[in-house]
Structure 1
Amino acid sequence: MQFCDECGSMMHTEGDTWVCRSCGHEELRDSATEESMTTTEDQADDGIVDMSDVDDAEIGPTTKVRCINPDCDGERARYEMKQIRSADESETRFFTCVECGQKWREDDH
């Protein structure tokens, strides 16, 4: 990846030249310099993940916590942390009971 010396925007390749689409600045490409650059490739996202062969115990971290479902005696839940408020506030922990699948968030009860 190459950044423009004039405006700092990301440059794009056009043949043997780096071109800034923001300010129009151009630089000749240097193959020796480009060999040391890190590149990434887009991977296709099928959208659907088959979890049918995955044991529930292998899905995410668990913690000891009492299920909020009154019909369940579960005392273990998987959890995940998500930032749902502004960045200066703490994350919210979401639980899923490993026994009954009940979902809740930490501040719901």
Structure 2
Amino acid sequence: MEFCDECGSMMHTEGETWVCRSCGHEQSRDESSDAAATTSEAQQEDGGPDVVDATGGTGEAVREPCPADGCDSERARYEMLPKPGGSYEVRLFTCAECGHKWRES
């Protein structure tokens, strides 16, 4: 994987060059660094981090209509999570019927 020196976006390969789709910057590919890159086939799945309820609450169901197409549920569970930077919290909902997730707008 290569990142653009100009804007920091992830670059994509086009033949023998790396091309940034955000700003158009191009740079030639280096065969030795490409050969040293680890592919997804060589990576090991570690299962990822455990997900915990950040509120420590029970996640009781509340009356909140599910916005998912085809779901008529009026019940959802929610949790409050701090926004990065700590300026305020965001309420995240999960539909009690279909499992659709959304945040309070």
Bigger helix fraction: 1
Higher Cα Rg: structure 1 or 2?
A: 1
| TM-score when normalising by structure 2 | 0.43
Give the TM-score, by structure 1 length.
Answer: 0.41
